[in-house]
């Protein structure tokens, strides 16, 4: 009889357990034994008492102390999942929602129909579900349907220290929902769980909680970890440095698992491949299915059998198989970036060794690698299939050393047993937003000191350990102390749209744990109004009222449609309009391609030798020729750079999306794979919203027809309307620097069409662009020509109509049929004439 059960029963007898139920759980003995070792078990009584006596409670405890797996069980046993209500747990990452629901089901000896998960397009929730793990985005959508969240008796917000935007919003919303529920006699509890003690934003925030919630901290058992800094800090090749360090650890140090932190999926695979190659023991066991082998010990057995066989090089890991990846969900990144996990950005070309014949490192290790100690190498990142992820929790094959190469999912969300050595590259892949263009990108940056310490801590869970930092202590000293809340470092237009969709009209008054700046909120509302997602504020009335109205515009039906797509509002608008004339597959492809940075190889790579440079020149000629071909003629040429993207993706898919095709035609293979994945994801999103759309993007699509191209250009204009530019006319040329320049509403300087653009020679009068990049000049990227007469219809808010009302010209738009509009208007304070349109 365990102490835990006894004390609980004693409590129960004294009648202190409210709700007065104790639901027994029939755990397996080995599970029971393991959980009794978890620090959080010692605090069960304290936690449950605090939950009983307070509406909201904050629980802090080191990663691995048992918060995620145990606290839902405490609540279940105390009867929180009875009387028709259930326990909800939110996670910022899909990985955690799926794997934790499975783990808890297993620990409680219950089916996954009782302990279930729900992520955006996937889940196993049933009528019998008692504990539901979900991503924070899913709960946010549920609040939209039922503001009081009546089916829940308690909500646990897990990983609150990550400060993901959705977690922050949920906490803000729940700070209002919980008291409301209690006032209505439908009691509800909120439990915020954090891996760090830095919770003042939640507890000291008077707007959030009137009485600060109690903070319970769980003391974790932590063995000492010695931290070793590198003397030097590799600026680029940290993947190579991680490889060298891992090999060294494996060769020289006593048994114990190795956990390597890198920044993204591509790097993780590169390092896994190199490590498997450097310690090829396992390679001989491979029958082309390293990733899919079920049981590691089974694999090892097979490998022993096959030991005598000649070494065969490992097959490339099947990155192509995007349909096998879990369908994208939309946690932290669902708005602005499509990408669902910050560990999963459009990858940067920082890795080497992509080439399986890269033997540069192997030479060094050939003499040392002891083939009798296998290195059992496993990747771990958010998009990895759950069965693959589950492998890291199982013991490695007997005698083998576990080596997990992970993104920062392993920092706090998942605890890998048996890790004694941590190799930390000190970087993380994060989303960045360009305030001028509003386009997001992924960049690799330094982590915070708090993150570095979290990572180091992973080495001391089971015994004392070592952490190897691939950077110097001086560099560490320059790290920021903590990571900032995500909400403060990005524009909030997507967020404002989501909140309006939740019918929160006055976003400024929302109790954010960390509020975004009011300028950011105003800018967001303005953009959304201009996109037609929010209603236009009144222009009449007192100034103060006008100002107030500008910050509380209600959402429009178009806005609701846009809110359903996991991309930033400009692109969401394109998707919302994409059903015209069968354009949806093309719009999906264009949006996917614009979201992935740099799908083309650089044309002007510096050459190192004479021979190299002539080779370069012929490559360049071929690439340019391909781009011209993809751009096409006539109408399609006017779709400009977007047509080139469309053509490139189309051609690549017809060729089966091989790396050889990409290499030959100047496309970045990784970008093409990424686009493929995004297209699948966006297609699901579109199909989920409009049941009648039933868009099917198979890889191959026919080129758009002429009339479809016209339609595509209008849709693009409607989405990128605030990125409109007009060529400076000869009579306006006051300064020679404006020659061939374009005027934009955002910049005082002229912007130009880049020589590599499809429209460089055409120089259309009006264009929209994806973004402006400053190099030798301000160049527009992703340029598409638009027709002047579309502008007043699609973007009336950017036009000042000044001409006589009489004599309106009929105007035809495939988006909405025949319309009429004024003949003359002003654009950016410069009068322009609408051309006469033939009907
Ligand atoms: P916390 O949420 O406080 O970080 P968890 O509840 O996630 O802690 O983990 C508690 C313990 O359970 C850890 O030691 C971890 O290794 C173990 N654990 C979690 N998930 C699994 C799993 N799927 N298989 C085996 N052990 C697991
Ligand atoms: Mg946890």
- 609-663 pLDDT, tens digit per residue, is 677 788 888 888 888 889 999 998 888 899 999 999 999 999 998 888 898 999 8
Collapsing DSSP to helix, strand or coil, 640 comes out as coil
* CA dist., res. 477 & res. 483, Å (int): 14
Which atom belonging to ligand 1 lies closest to the Cα atom of 390? 23
Q: CA-based angle 494:499:505, to the nearest 5?
A: 120
Residue 783 to residue 810: CA distance in whole angstroms:
28
Q: By percentage, how much of the chain surpasses pLDDT 70?
A: 77
Mean pLDDT of all residues in the chain?
78
**From the alpha carbon of 413, which atom of ligand 1 is closest?**
4
Q: How many residues comprise the chain?
A: 839
Cα radius of gyration (the chain): 29
Global ipTM: 0.98
* Average pLDDT for 214-235: 88
Provide mean pLDDT across the span 548-554.
Answer: 80
Per the CB < 8 A criterion, the answer to whether 641 and 634 are in contact is no
**47 Cα distance to chain centroid:** 33
| Per-residue pLDDT tens digits for 128-145 | 999 999 999 899 889 988
- Asked if the model's pLDDT at residue 699 lies above 70, the reply is no
d(CA 373, CA 392): 19
Report the pocket of ligand 1 as residue ranges, CB < 6 Å. 38, 61, 63-70, 99, 103, 393, 415, 417
Phi, psi for residue 123 in degrees, rounded to 5: 175, 170
- Only one residue has tokens 């690549």, namely 652
Looking at 92-101, 172-181, 464-473, 575-584, which range is the least confident one? 575-584
HEC-encoded secondary structure of 259-306: EEECCCHHHHHHHHHHHHHHCHHHHHHCCCCHHHCCCHHHHHHHHHHH
pLDDT at 691: 58
The whole-angstrom separation of Cα 357 and Cα 289 is: 20
- CA nearest to 94, candidates 102, 83, 86, 85: 102
Q: How confident is the model at residue 839 (pLDDT cuts 50, 70, 90)?
A: very low
Residue 684 has pLDDT above 60, yes or no: yes
Q: What are phi and psi of 706, to 5 degrees?
A: -55, -45
Q: Which of 448, 423, 435 is nearest to 489 (CA)?
A: 435
The burial of 232, by beta-carbon neighbours within 10 Å (0-12 exposed, 13-18 middle, 19 or more buried), is given as exposed
221 C-alpha to center of ligand 1: Å?
14
Which residues make Cβ contacts (< 8 Å) with residue 571, sequence separation at least 6? 565, 591, 594, 595, 719
Alpha-helical segments (H) within 502-540: 518-530
Supply φ then ψ for residue 376, to 5 degrees. -95, 100
- pLDDT level of residue 485 (50, 70, 90 thresholds): confident
Average pLDDT over residues 373-383: 87
> Which residue puts its alpha carbon closest to atom 10 of ligand 1?
66
C-alpha of residue 220 to centroid of ligand 2, in Å: 13
pLDDT digits (tens, 9 = 90+) for 660-682: 999 889 998 878 987 887 888 78
Place of tokens 């976003």: 507
Q: What is the pLDDT of residue 308?
A: 34
Q: Is the pLDDT of residue 59 over 60?
A: yes
Distance of alpha carbon 493 from alpha carbon 486, whole angstroms: 14
Report CA(190)–ligand 1 centroid distance (Å): 22
Q: Give the residue whose CA is nearest to atom 14 of ligand 1.
A: 64
Ligand 2 centroid to Cα of residue 160, in Å, is 10
Distance of CA 793 to the CA centre of its chain: 35
Q: Count the Cβ atoms, other than its own, within 10 Å of residue 336.
A: 25
Whose C-alpha lies nearest to ligand 1, atom 5?
Answer: 66
User: What's the pLDDT band for 115 if we cut at 50, 70, 90?
Assistant: very high
How would residue 261 be classed by pLDDT, with cut points 50, 70 and 90?
Answer: very high
Cα separation of 753 and 725, whole Å?
10
Q: What is the mean pLDDT of residues 708-735?
A: 86
Alpha carbons within 13 angstroms on the beta-carbon side of residue 367 total 2
> pLDDT-derived band of residue 408, with 50, 70 and 90 as boundaries?
confident
Q: Is pLDDT of 769 > 80? A: yes
40 CA distance to ligand 1 centroid (A)?
11
What distance in angstroms lies between residue 412's CA and the mean position of ligand 2's atoms?
A: 7
Q: By three-state DSSP, how is residue 82 classified?
A: coil
* Distance between Cα 137 and ligand 1 center (Å): 23
- Asked if residues 485 and 168 have their Cβ atoms less than 8 Å apart, the reply is yes
Q: Using one digit for the tens of pLDDT, what is the confidence trace for 1-53?
A: 456 656 655 555 444 444 557 889 999 999 999 999 899 999 999 999 999 99
Here the tokens at position 26 are: 């029939």
Residue 121's pLDDT is 63
Interval between CA 475 and ligand 2 midpoint (Å): 29
Handedness of CA 678, 680, 685, 690 (dihedral sign): positive
- Angle at which helices 610-631 and 641-654 pack, to 10 degrees? 100
158-197 per-position pLDDT tens digit: 999 888 888 999 999 999 999 999 999 999 999 999 988 7
Residue among 66, 194, 458 to mutate when testing ligand 1 (max atoms within 8 A of CB): 66
Q: Best mutation site among 90, 115, 417, 457 for ligand 1, i.e. most ligand atoms within 8 A of its Cβ? A: 417
**Which residue has its alpha carbon closest to ligand 1 atom 24?**
393
Mutation to probe ligand 1, out of 103, 378, 384, 416 (largest number of atoms < 8 A from CB):
103
CA pair distance 281, 290, nearest whole angstrom: 13
* pLDDT confidence band for 590 (50 / 70 / 90): very high
Judge if the upstream peptide bond of residue 19 is cis by omega within 30 degrees of 0: yes
Q: What are the DSSP E strand ranges found in 97-188?
A: 115-119, 122-123, 131-135, 152-157
Q: What is the pLDDT of residues 518-534, one digit of tens each?
A: 888 888 998 899 888 99
């Amino acid at each position: 009889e365990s102490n835990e059960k006894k004390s609980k029963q004693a409590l129960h007898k004294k009648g202190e357990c409210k709700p007065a139920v104790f639901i027994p759980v029939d755990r397996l003995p080995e599970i029971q034994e393991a959980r009794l070792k978890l620090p959080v078990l010692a605090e069960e009584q304290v936690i449950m008492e605090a939950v009983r006596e307070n509406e909201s409670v904050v629980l802090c405890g080191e990663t691995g102390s048992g918060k995620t797996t145990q606290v839902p069980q405490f609540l279940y046993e105390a009867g929180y999942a009875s009387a028709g209500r259930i326990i909800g747990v939110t996670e910022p990452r899909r990985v955690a929602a799926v794997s934790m629901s499975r783990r808890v089901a297993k620990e409680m000896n219950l089916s996954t129909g009782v302990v279930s998960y729900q992520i955006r397009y996937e889940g196993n929730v049933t009528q019998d579900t008692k504990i539901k793990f979900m991503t924070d985005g899913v709960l946010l959508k549920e609040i939209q349907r039922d503001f009081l969240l009546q089916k829940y008796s308690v909500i646990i917000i897990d990983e609150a220290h990550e400060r993901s935007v959705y977690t922050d919003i949920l906490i803000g919303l729940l700070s209002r929902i919980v008291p409301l529920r209690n006032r209505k006699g439908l009691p509800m509890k909120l439990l915020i769980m954090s891996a760090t003690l830095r919770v003042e934003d939640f507890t000291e925030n008077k707007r959030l909680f009137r009485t600060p919630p109690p903070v319970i901290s769980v003391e974790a058992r932590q063995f000492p970890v010695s931290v070793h800094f590198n003397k030097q800090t590799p600026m680029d090749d940290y993947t190579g440095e991680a490889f060298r360090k891992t090999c060294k650890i494996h060769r020289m140090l006593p048994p114990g698992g190795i956990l390597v932190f890198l920044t993204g999926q591509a790097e993780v695979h590169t390092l896994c491949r190199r490590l498997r190659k450097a310690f090829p023991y396992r390679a001989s066991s491979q029958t082309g299915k390293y990733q899919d082998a079920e049981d590691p010990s089974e694999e090892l057995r097979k490998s022993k059998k096959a030991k005598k066989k000649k070494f065969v090089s490992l097959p490339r890991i099947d990155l192509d198989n995007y349909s096998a990846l879990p369908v994208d969900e939309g946690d932290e990144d669902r708005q602005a970036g499509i990408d669902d996990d910050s560990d999963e950005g459009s990858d940067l070309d920082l890795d080497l060794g992509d080439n399986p014949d890269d033997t540069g490192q192997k030479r060094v290790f050939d003499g040392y690698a002891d083939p009798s100690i296998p290195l059992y190498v496993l990747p771990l990142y958010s998009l990895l299939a759950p069965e693959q992820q589950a492998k890291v929790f199982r013991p490695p094959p007997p005698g083998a050393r576990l080596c997990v190469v992970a993104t920062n999912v392993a920092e706090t969300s998942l605890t890998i047993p048996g890790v004694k050595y941590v190799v930390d590259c000190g970087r993380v892949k994060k989303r960045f937003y360009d305030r001028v263009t509003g386009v997001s990108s992924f960049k690799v940056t330094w982590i915070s000191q708090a993150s570095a310490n979290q990572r180091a801590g992973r080495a001391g869970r089971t015994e004392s350990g070592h952490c190897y930092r691939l950077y110097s202590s001086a560099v560490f000293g320059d790290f920021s102390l903590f990571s900032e809340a995500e909400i403060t470092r990005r524009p909030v237009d997507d967020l404002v749209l989501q909140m309006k969709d939740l019918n929160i009209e006055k976003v400024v008054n929302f109790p954010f744990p960390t509020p975004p700046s009011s300028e950011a909120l105003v800018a967001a509302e303005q953009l959304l109004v201009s996109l037609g997602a929010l209603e236009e504020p009144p222009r009449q009335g007192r100034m103060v009222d006008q100002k107030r109205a500008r910050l509380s515009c209600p959402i429009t039906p178009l806005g609701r449609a846009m809110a359903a797509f996991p991309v930033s509002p400009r692109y969401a608008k394109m998707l919302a309009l994409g059903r015209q004339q069968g354009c949806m597959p093309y719009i999906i492809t264009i949006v996917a391609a614009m979201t992935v940075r740099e799908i083309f190889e650089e044309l002007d790579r510096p050459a190192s030798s004479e021979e190299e440079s002539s080779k370069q020149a012929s490559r360049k000629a071929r690439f340019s020729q391909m781009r011209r071909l993809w751009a096409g003629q006539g109408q399609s040429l006017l779709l400009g750079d977007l047509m080139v993207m469309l053509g490139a993706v189309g051609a690549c898919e017809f060729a089966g999306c091989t790396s050889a095709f990409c290499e030959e035609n100047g496309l970045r293979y990784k970008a093409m794979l990424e686009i493929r994945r995004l297209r699948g994801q966006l297609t699901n999103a579109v199909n989920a919203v409009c049941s009648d759309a039933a868009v099917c993007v198979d890889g191959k699509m026919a080129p758009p027809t002429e009339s479809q191209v016209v339609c595509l250009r209008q849709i693009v204009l409607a989405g990128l309307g605030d990125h409109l530019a007009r060529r400076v006319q000869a009579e306006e040329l006051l300064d020679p620097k404006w020659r061939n320049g374009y005027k934009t509403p955002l910049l005082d300087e002229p912007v130009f069409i880049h020589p590599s653009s499809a429209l460089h020679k055409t120089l259309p009068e009006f264009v929209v662009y994806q973004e402006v990049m400053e190099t030798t000049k301000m160049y527009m990227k992703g340029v598409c020509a638009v027709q002047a007469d579309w502008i007043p219809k699609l973007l009336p808010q950017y036009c000042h109509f000044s001409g006589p009302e009489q004599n309106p010209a009929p105007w035809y738009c495939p988006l909405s049929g025949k319309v009429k509009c004024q003949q003359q208007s002003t654009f950016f304070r410069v009068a322009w004439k609408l051309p006469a349109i033939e009907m």
